[in-house]
Structures are given as structure tokens and as C-alpha cells.
Chains A and B, each alone.
Chain A
Amino acid sequence: METAVFIVCAVIVLAGSLGVVLARNPVHAALSLVGTLFGVAVLFLNLEAHFLAAVQIIVYAGAIVVLFLFVIMLLGVDRLEDISIEPILGQRVLATFVGLAGFGLGAAYIATSVEGATISTSSLLRVPASNLHHIAEVLFTDYVYAFEATAALLTISVVGAVVMTRRAGRNRVTQTTAGED
């Protein structure tokens, strides 16, 4: 059963990721990305990482890709791209090379990894329904500095975004005041 779920999800993930790369329409590419993310979420479920699966859907599918689509729609770039022109010279050759190198690295890693080396972490997660407690415990003890640093980084980027969009020297005008003059 586990293998069957894996095969179905693997097909969905691969088809989705191919769609991301091959679709000419940016919106279709973004939708394929959603398909991939859902496939990965089910794979997480299959590994009993329930919380990760939920976070995968809520954060990646629910917020990030929605943001992508939002930007695509707002900027109106949702047309078929003319891909006969190469914006940066030598980009494609370089991309092919880097892609192949990444694939080779991944394949080499899987080929050389010892079977059963990752069992220790999964046995930790095998306690029923306490997935969340485990993550919380590890996050607030072993990785508390990394966690806090990430939080600070995110806060800074939010403040930065607000500062950049807040235009100096302009007062906020509401619809009522603007409509009166």
C-alpha cells in the first residue's frame, strides 16, 4: 500500500515539475507547481509526517503560490511568452549544465547512501499523534537560536517591505476626503 501511494505521488510530482518547466503560460506553470506541492504533501503523509504535510499545503500551496499567481495577474504577464529570444546570453547552456550537475549530485548522493541510515529519525516520529509535540520540542530546545534568527530575519524583511512601499512626503487620503474636493 505504501509503495502504491508512493508511485502515484511520484507520478504526480514529476508530472507537475515537468509542467512547471515546460508550460508556456506562467499561470499553468504555477498550477503545475501546486500539483507538485500536493504530491509532496501526500508523500509526507505516507511517511507519517502529518504536520509537515499540513504546513506544506497551508504555507506553500496556500500562501506562496497564491502570491505568485497574484503577482502574475497584477502585472499582466499571463500571456504566452516568446521564447525564441534569449534574454541573457548563454543562459540556456548554463541552465542545462547546472541542472544536469544538480541531478548528478542528487543521484550520486542516493547511490552512495547507506540503506537504513535514516531510520533513527523516523523511529523518533513513530510515537502516535505527537508529531507536533516533537517538532515543537526540538524547535524550542536544540534549534532555538536558528529558529529565533529566522524569526528576526522575517521580521526585518517585513519591516523593509513596509518601509519601501511607504512613500515619503505623502499623506494617506481616504476615499471620503478625496471625494469631497
Chain B
Amino acid sequence: MNCGFESWGFGNWGPLASLGPRVFALDPLYLDGVGLAEVAITLGKVIVAFGLLLVGVMLMIWFERKLISDMQNRIGPSLAGPFGIFQTLADGIKLFFKEDLIPQRSDPLVFKLAPYLSLVPAFLVFAVVPIGGDFNGGDGRVSIFGHETFLQVADPPIGILLVLAMSSVAVYGVMLAGWSSGSKYPLLASVRASAQMVSYEAALGLSLATVLLKSGSLSTNQIVSEQSVWNWNLWLTWVVPMVVFLIAATAELNRPPFDLVEAEQELVGGFHTEYSSLRFALFFLAEFMNTITMSAIIVTLFLGGPNGPDFTTVGWLSGVLWFFIKLMLFVFTFIWLRATLPRIRYDQLMDLGWKLLIPVSLGWLLLLASYDIAGDRGWNRPLTLIVTVLVMCGLAGLLRLALLSGTKAATPNNAQEPSLGSLDTLDTLDTLDTLDTKEGAF
């Protein structure tokens, strides 16, 4: 297998040699300094990841259209190639050759920059996802041309934080696209989008913290190693964080039922209304790429990544297969959600994010932490759990009481909240009051 890169005589490759172990410390590939072979393998990994994502997006769009047509009793794309599999390619070529319009009232520089701001983070996140490797005995090392390495582009020490950082950078793409178009509807969409994405990032981060509590490391490779073979975080964290993460990720991706950003009925098209041709294609690409990457992140965090019983004779193949099986599960889930659920309203979206997901994930984190500490200190675990739940319930009750008394103090003549049923019994004064609030509601 050894291709003989060393025989070329490049032992340590110039200035990169000092960089290797420091910047990419965790990958065993760089332990002996960086030579030409290491650079070649890294480049190879980058190209494979890039190609995988592009082809993956092409197939996913086809898969999504086919699946949704099946769920809606239609045929879907069927003409281009076998089963219409080349439909996306045809669409891409069509978009490529369309006229590129830049609106007169736009901000040209930012308008051109925005698509790349959403595309580049989408690519970068996939770099930290381990897509294979043997985690049954070892720590996921595979041997490429006699060099030990991980099957992921990079394993930086901040690992999973890169995902959060990139998803917060991706907000800029959407936000600036809407603003720079110089048009009202895209601006409204981008304000909605950025508020939505920033809100759900909190829930995303908090549910991710439970995983960090279990694995004790930020490195994605470590997180996957800790879950070997059946110690998946899904049950180690008692399911709830994965559900929260899945919901928050759907909102972060602006996918249905959280696709208020692209509400055609209200906003013409969404933040990309003014975009055409290749720039529009880039947004589209970024969106689907993010869906794939987010599925990959969920698999890595909660389903053990490439972990699974070895069922092939080739060592590394089974890991890759397990990873793709799990990945497809989540890609299918996202498409399924789109076909099933209607879009939710904006106030429901904010209520769900701030009042349900964030408190639940925060409480769950505390619960897991108390359980772990009880184990460390030798306390009675069930008792500790019960006490923690009681304390949290007490605090939540206090908060509810405070909010209720605040409402009562504010509205002395109208103690009950206007619900659907009580609305007809309200006198004219209160109706006027509610009408007045309608303007202030947003």
C-alpha cells in the first residue's frame, strides 16, 4: 500500500513543518511533522469532502423531490436520466446560463458578497465530521498509503465549536442578502431570518452542552470515540437533547416547518427574491448543503458517527457505511418533516424557541450534571435526580407566580387573560384595548 512518498526525499516540508503538530494537533497524521505526503493526503481529503458534498447536494435535491412527490401522490422529476436523477444537473446548468441581474437600488458589493457568506460556512462545517474509521477497537485511525490518519478533513481542538461558529457566520449571508437587495420584502425576510437563527442558536448550543458533559472533549473524533460501540449519546443523554437539537437545527436551517424566511405568500420569495442566475444557485446549494452537514453533525453528536458493529471484511468500509445509513435517516427525516408539517406562525416560532426549547435544554443539562456529580460523590443517584427535579419545579413555580402577580398588578380590572372563549364576553372597553395592542404586537 505504501506509495513511497518518503522516497521522494521531502522529509519535512519547509515552513509547514513547524505548523503541523501545533495547529492540527489531534490528527496522528501530523505527528512526525508535515512532509509532502501529508500535504497530499490532506489535499486529497479536502477534495473528497468537497466532491462528496457537491454530489450529495445533487442527489439530495433529487431525493427530496422524488420523496415529496411520492408522499403527495405525484411522479416528480422523471425525464432527465433514469428516474430523473439528472434533473438537478439540468437545473444547475439552466441557472448557470441565466442572466445575472443586479438591482439598481442594491448595494453591489454586499449583494455579490452575500451568497459566498452562506456557502463557505456550509462547506467548512463538514471538515470536522468524521465520516468513517474503525472505532470498535482503536480511536478511528485508518491507514492511507502507510500514514495513519482520521477520516475527516481536520480535527481541531475546538472541534464542535467550529460548527456553532460557522452556523453563526451563516446568519450574515441571509441577513446581508436581504438588506443589500434594496427591496422591502427581502429585508423583512432577512430580519425574520436573523432573529430566528440567533434565537435557535441558543437552544442548539445548550443541547450540545449535554453531549460535551458526557464526552468531556470538544474534538469531534473524541466525541465519536467515546460513543464506541453502543454508548451512543442518544441514550446517554436520555433522548431529550437530541430532540431539542433536531428541532433547533431544523429552525437553524430554515427548513419547513420553520421556513418563515421563504414564506412565498407573505414575502414574495424570501431573502433571495432579487437574486437570479448563479448567485441564486449558490444560496440553494448552501441551503441543501447545510441540511446534509447538520444531519452529519447530529449523527456525530448523538448517534455515534461511524460507530456500529463491523459487518464487512474491509476494516474501514463498515464505519463509512454506518455513517451514511445514519446520515440518510436524518436527511429522510428532514424531507419527511417538510412533506408533513405546515409552516408555523412567527409568534409560535419565538415561543417555541425561547419559552420551551431553551428552558428544557438548560434544565436537562442541570439534571445530567447532578446525576454525574451524584455518581462521582457516591450519592444516591435516583434521590439526587428527584431532589433536582423538585428544586427546578419549585423555581419554575416561583417564576410563574412572579409573572402572574405581575400581570395581575398591571391589569387590576381584567384579571383573566383574553382567551378564545372569553372574547365575546369582554366589554367594549377591553375590545378597544385588544385592538390597540394589535398594532403593538410586532
Q: Which residue of B lies closest to A59 (CB)?
A: B168
Interface size class on chain A is 35 or more
Write the nearest CB–CB distance from B376 to chain A, whole angstroms.
15
Write the nearest CB–CB distance from A9 to chain B, whole angstroms.
14
Q: Say whether B110 contacts A69, CB under 8 Å.
A: no
Within 8 A of B (CB), among A2-61: 2, 4, 25, 27-28, 31, 34, 45, 48, 50-51, 53-55, 57-58, 61
Q: Taking the complex as formed, is A84 at the interface, i.e. its CB lies under 8 A from any CB of chain B? A: no
For A63, give its contact among B156, B168, B411 (CB under 8 Å). Answer: B168
Q: Say whether A34 contacts B172, CB under 8 Å.
A: yes
Check A173/B418 contact, CB under 8 A, given A4-B15, A167-B440, A178-B438: yes
Q: In the complex, A127→B201 CA distance in Å?
A: 31
Q: Taking the complex as formed, is A74 at the interface, i.e. its CB lies under 8 A from any CB of chain B? A: yes
Interface of A is mostly: helix
Residues in A whose Cβ lies below 8 Å from that of B191: 70, 73-74
Convert B398-412 into 0s and 1s, putting 1 for each residue whose CB lies closer than 8 angstroms to a CB of A: 000000001000110
For A78, give its contact among B179, B218, B411, B434 (CB under 8 Å). Answer: B179
Write the nearest CB–CB distance from A139 to chain B, whole angstroms.
15
Residues in A whose Cβ lies below 8 Å from that of B414: 171
Q: Which residue of A lies closest to B197 (CB)?
A: A66
Convert A63-89 into 0s and 1s, putting 1 for each residue whose CB lies closer than 8 angstroms to a CB of B: 100110110011000100000000000
For A172, give its contact among B26, B156, B417 (CB under 8 Å). Answer: B417
Interface of B is mostly: helix
For A168, give its contact among B25, B157, B410 (CB under 8 Å). Answer: B410
Residues in B whose Cβ lies below 8 Å from that of A174: 347
Q: Say whether B165 contacts A58, CB under 8 Å.
A: yes
Q: Say whether B168 contacts A73, CB under 8 Å.
A: no
Q: Taking the complex as formed, is B94 at the interface, i.e. its CB lies under 8 A from any CB of chain A? A: no
Residues in A whose Cβ lies below 8 Å from that of B74: none
Q: Which of A50, A70, A171 is packed against the most chain B CB atoms within 10 Å?
A: A171
Within 8 A of B (CB), among A125-158: 128-129, 131-132
Q: Which residue of B lies closest to A69 (CB)?
A: B175
Q: How many of B's residues come within 8 Å of A, CB to CB?
A: 54
Q: Taking the complex as formed, is B425 at the interface, i.e. its CB lies under 8 A from any CB of chain A? A: no
Q: In the complex, A61→B190 CA distance in Å?
A: 17
Check A1/B19 contact, CB under 8 A, given A170-B433, A171-B411, A177-B418: yes
Q: Say whether A131 contacts B157, CB under 8 Å.
A: yes
Write the nearest CB–CB distance from A69 to chain B, whole angstroms.
6
Q: Taking the complex as formed, is A115 at the interface, i.e. its CB lies under 8 A from any CB of chain B? A: no
Q: Say whether B179 contacts A27, CB under 8 Å.
A: yes
For B441, give its contact among A48, A173, A181 (CB under 8 Å). Answer: A173
Residues in A whose Cβ lies below 8 Å from that of B411: 169, 171
Q: Say whether B423 contacts A31, CB under 8 Å.
A: no
Residues in B whose Cβ lies below 8 Å from that of A31: 110, 176
Q: Say whether A62 contacts B201, CB under 8 Å.
A: yes
Q: Say whether B171 contacts A66, CB under 8 Å.
A: yes
Q: Say whether A170 contacts B440, CB under 8 Å.
A: yes
Q: Say whether B162 contacts A171, CB under 8 Å.
A: no
Q: In the complex, A63→B167 CA distance in Å?
A: 11
Q: In the complex, A26→B345 CA distance in Å?
A: 31
Q: Say whether B410 contacts A62, CB under 8 Å.
A: no
Q: Taking the complex as formed, is A123 at the interface, i.e. its CB lies under 8 A from any CB of chain B? A: no
Q: Taking the complex as formed, is A175 at the interface, i.e. its CB lies under 8 A from any CB of chain B? A: yes
Within 8 A of A (CB), among B382-428: 406, 410-411, 414, 417-420, 423
Q: In the complex, A25→B176 CA distance in Å?
A: 13
Q: Say whether A132 contacts B218, CB under 8 Å.
A: yes
Additional A-B contact list (16), CB under 8 Å, known A1-B18, A177-B434: A27-B107, A45-B23, A48-B22, A51-B161, A57-B168, A58-B161, A62-B171, A62-B201, A66-B171, A69-B179, A73-B190, A128-B157, A129-B219, A131-B157, A177-B418, A177-B419
Q: What are 8 of the A-B contact pairs (CB < 8 Å)?
A: A51-B157, A66-B198, A70-B175, A128-B25, A129-B25, A166-B406, A173-B418, A178-B438
**B-binding residues in A (CB < 8 A):** 1-2, 4, 25, 27-28, 31, 34, 45, 48, 50-51, 53-55, 57-58, 61-63, 66-67, 69-70, 73-74, 78, 128-129, 131-132, 166-178, 180-181
**A-binding residues in B (CB < 8 A):** 15-16, 18-19, 22-23, 25-26, 107, 109-110, 156-158, 161-162, 164-165, 168-169, 171-172, 175-176, 179, 187, 190-191, 194-195, 198, 201, 218-219, 345, 347, 406, 410-411, 414, 417-420, 423, 431, 433-438, 440-441
5 tightest A-B contacts by CB? A62-B168, A54-B161, A57-B165, A54-B158, A168-B410
